[in-house]
Amino acid sequence: MEKLVHKTIGQLLDDTVSKYPDKEAVVYVEEDLRYTYTEFQQIINQAAKGLMSLGIKKGDHIAIWASNKPEWVITQFASAKIGAVLVTVNTSYQIKELEYLLRQSDSTTLILMDEFKSENYLEILYQLCPELRQSKVGELKANKLPLLKNIIYLGSDNHPGMYSWTDLLEKGSTISDEDLFIRQNNTFPQEVINMQYTSGTTGFPKGVMLTHSNIINNAINVAECQKITSVDKICIPVPFFHCFGCVMGTLASVATGATMVPLIMFDPLQVLRAVEQEDCTALYGVPTMFIAELNHPDFPKYNLSSLRTGIMAGSPCPTEIMKKVVHEMGATEITIAYGQTEASPVISQTRTHDSIERRVSTVGSALNNVEVKIVDPVTREELPTGDQGELCTRGYHVMRGYYKMPDQTKDTIDEDGWLHTGDLATMDKEGYLVITGRLKDMIIRGGENIYPREIEEFLYTHPKVFDVQVVGVPDEKFGEQVAAFIKVKPGETLNESEIKEYCKGNISNFKIPFFVEFLDNYPMTASGKIQKFKLRELVEKSLFS
């Protein structure tokens, strides 16, 4: 077992800068933007001082609602340097989800861009906090969000009640380098520095608290599985608001001195261009991203010979896709990773020398310093090799807990420190894991985790809905799609388009049911429990008959 690294993110960055001062740290092909590690450190320090100038204290929560813009990764390291907790916001969030996250997380600051995929973030925020239009900058007093004070807009334009990004950097000049140095030296590896929201069976998203130590060591281990070093360039088209982007991507790059090549948002053609132009050696993505790249009509025009490795994660990889990634993309050492946000995120990963068969039939073996076991879901007794049970894990990577949810934390992490993943799995004699199912009814659509209860809770608010059950059904493109089975209130009529229209603007587009069926009765067990697998079969029969 290799020793764990005991550093803060600020120390990690500064150490890497001292080793590779003139090496490129960040390249944005779309923006024609390049930072050496020294330049990257300078703008991070300026942003960190800017955040301090706003009165942000150690332990304060800063939410960021944006795509993979340069300011996102700058904020990631700047907030860490001053000991503020970065709260990542899903770019698909709508008003109700944003309100819940900002309130539950106790965020004092929100950093946001203007719009994403035609959704106007500024309008959503003004709708949520109408007081913002008349507020002095930095002095927001919002009825719905009493702790939220600072709004920072990622752009140079001025908007009522908001600082611009330029304002933030300029305000950094009012704080001395010595003050930043003192603040950074007052942060410690075991302190929480990152919070990401993941839904649960209760339907209420939970803030996963991750420490410097959690995510730095996970990033280092994930990089080791790919044999990433300072000579590598990692193309990162996966979103920063997930651990895939901000731990396995940006943090792993800084931990090894590699160059990160992020995409502001996923576009298969831009990925191909970036890999060719920058000679990227590693590429990240969920299977649907790799499928889109391989199937793009211009795929044959691009020279991807620099590719060696990378990570495919988020959902199971079809065998044929893995073969194409290896043989047509040339990523002969591509790896598969499995985990969850509560585990910082990676629990197991294949290695560069593993066979293609192992990479498609398993999710690899446990990372260094990570324990795994398979237990009986009822008795919690460890099971013999090869038996199916719940996958549990223990080690440096297990989250501190769910923010302000001690009961849910106790349900997830037992008294011996084992994180219960809720996933069913088997483990062979060599420690390779196969995920066989889920204890929960989670739906994984294109790498996004969707929890049926959350959608059910929302649809119950429709005045004509009497009852609703949501399940996942197979889909060739996304892996799974959302299907809703609805009982309508007596005397009312309802159709599919009304349901979908009701969801728009309130819940993320990827959560909106793709299939909507209306039933008079649900299939039940003798004891009165709804049989969701039979609901799933109803859609599958109509799809595949």
Mean residue pLDDT across the chain? 94
pLDDT digits (tens, 9 = 90+) for 247-281: 999 999 999 999 999 999 999 999 999 999 999 99
- Pairing label, strands 61-65, 85-88: parallel
Whether 438 has a pLDDT exceeding 80, the answer reads no
Give the tokens for residue 413: 């992490």
Higher pLDDT, 105 or 286: 105
Q: Which residue has the tokens 């889909």?
A: 475
pLDDT digits (tens, 9 = 90+) for 303-325: 999 999 999 998 778 788 899 99
| Contact between residue 263 and residue 236 where contact means Cβ atoms under 8 Å apart | yes
Whether 492 has a pLDDT exceeding 90, the answer reads yes
**Residue 345: cis peptide before it, omega within 30 degrees of 0:** yes
Question: What pLDDT score does 200 carry?
Answer: 46
Burial 516-530 (b: 16+ CB within 10 A, else e): beeeeebbeeeeeee
Q: How many CB atoms lie within 10 A of CB 328?
A: 13
For 267, the 3-state DSSP assignment is coil
Question: What pLDDT score does 545 carry?
Answer: 56
Question: What pLDDT score does 75 carry?
Answer: 98
Whether 349 has a pLDDT exceeding 90, the answer reads yes
Alpha carbon distance 495, 484 (integer Å): 12
Q: What are phi and psi of 466, to 5 degrees?
A: -90, -45
Whether 202 has a pLDDT exceeding 70, the answer reads no
Burial grade of 297 (CB within 10 A; 0-12, 13-18, 19 or more)? exposed
Mean pLDDT of 45-62: 98
Share of the chain above pLDDT 70, in %: 97
Alpha carbon distance 287, 283 (integer Å): 12
The pLDDT-based confidence of 529 (bands split at 50, 70, 90) is low
Alpha carbon distance 193, 245 (integer Å): 16
> With the CA atoms of 243, 3, 427 and 199 taken in that order, what torsion angle do they form, in degrees rounded to the nearest 10?
-20
For 174, the 3-state DSSP assignment is helix
Whether 527 has a pLDDT exceeding 50, the answer reads no
Question: What pLDDT score does 199 carry?
Answer: 64
Question: What pLDDT score does 532 carry?
Answer: 82
364: left (phi over 0), alpha (psi -120 to 50) or beta: left
Question: What pLDDT score does 460 carry?
Answer: 86
* Best CATH choice for the domain 443-544 from the list 1.10.357.10, 1.10.287.1080, 3.30.300.30, 1.25.40.10: 3.30.300.30
Mean pLDDT of 160-177: 97
Show me where the domains of the chain are located: 9-327, 443-544
Looking at residue 12, the DSSP 8-state letter turns out to be: H
Report the Cα 500 to chain-centroid distance in Å: 25
pLDDT digits (tens, 9 = 90+) for 91-130: 989 999 999 999 999 999 999 999 988 889 999 999 999 9
The pLDDT-based confidence of 466 (bands split at 50, 70, 90) is confident
Whether 2 has a pLDDT exceeding 70, the answer reads yes
The pLDDT-based confidence of 457 (bands split at 50, 70, 90) is confident
The pLDDT-based confidence of 362 (bands split at 50, 70, 90) is very high
**DSSP assignment string, 464-514:** TEEEEEEEEEEETTTEEEEEEEEEEPTT----HHHHHHHHTTTS-GGGS-S
Is the CATH number 3.40.50.12780 carried by domain 9-327?
A: yes
pLDDT digits (tens, 9 = 90+) for 127-147: 999 999 999 999 999 999 999
The total number of residues shown for the chain amounts to: 545
Give the tokens for residue 425: 């799995």
Rg of the chain (C-alpha set): 23
| Contact between residue 390 and residue 421 where contact means Cβ atoms under 8 Å apart | yes
Choice among 109-113, 410-414, 455-459 with the minimum mean pLDDT? 455-459
- Total-model pTM: 0.86
Query: Residue 401's closest CA among 478, 343, 357, 337?
Result: 343
∠ CA 311-316-321, nearest 5°, is 70
Whether 21 has a pLDDT exceeding 90, the answer reads yes
| Contact between residue 480 and residue 473 where contact means Cβ atoms under 8 Å apart | yes
Q: How many CB atoms lie within 10 A of CB 290?
A: 25
Alpha carbon distance 62, 90 (integer Å): 14
The pLDDT-based confidence of 539 (bands split at 50, 70, 90) is confident
Alpha carbon distance 511, 493 (integer Å): 23
Whether 436 has a pLDDT exceeding 70, the answer reads yes
Whether 1 has a pLDDT exceeding 80, the answer reads no
Alpha carbon distance 263, 278 (integer Å): 12
Query: Residue 386's closest CA among 339, 317, 436?
Result: 436
Alpha carbon distance 463, 467 (integer Å): 11
Give the tokens for residue 288: 């649907």
